[in-house]
Amino acid sequence: MIKIGKLDILINNAGISAFKPFLSLSTDEWDQVINTNLRSVFISSREAAKVMNNGGRIINMASTRAIMSEPNSEAYAASKGGIVSITHSLAASLQPNGITVNCISPGWIHVDQNEELKETDHLQHWSNRVGKPEDIAKACIYLADPENNFINGQNIIIDGGMTRKMIYEE
- Reference 143, options 7, 41, 8, 39; nearest CA is 8
Catalytic-labelled residue, pool 37, 52, 75, 76: 76
Residues 6+ away with beta carbon under 8 Å from 127: 160, 161
Distance (Å, whole) CA 42 – CA 139: 22
Burial class (CB in 10 A: 0-12, 13-18, 19+), 110: middle
Distance (Å, whole) CA 51 – CA 74: 34
Give catalytic status of residue 76 as yes or no.
Answer: yes
Looking from the CA of 76 toward its CB, the CA atoms found within 13 Å total: 19
* Residues in a beta bridge with 105: 157
List active site positions: 76
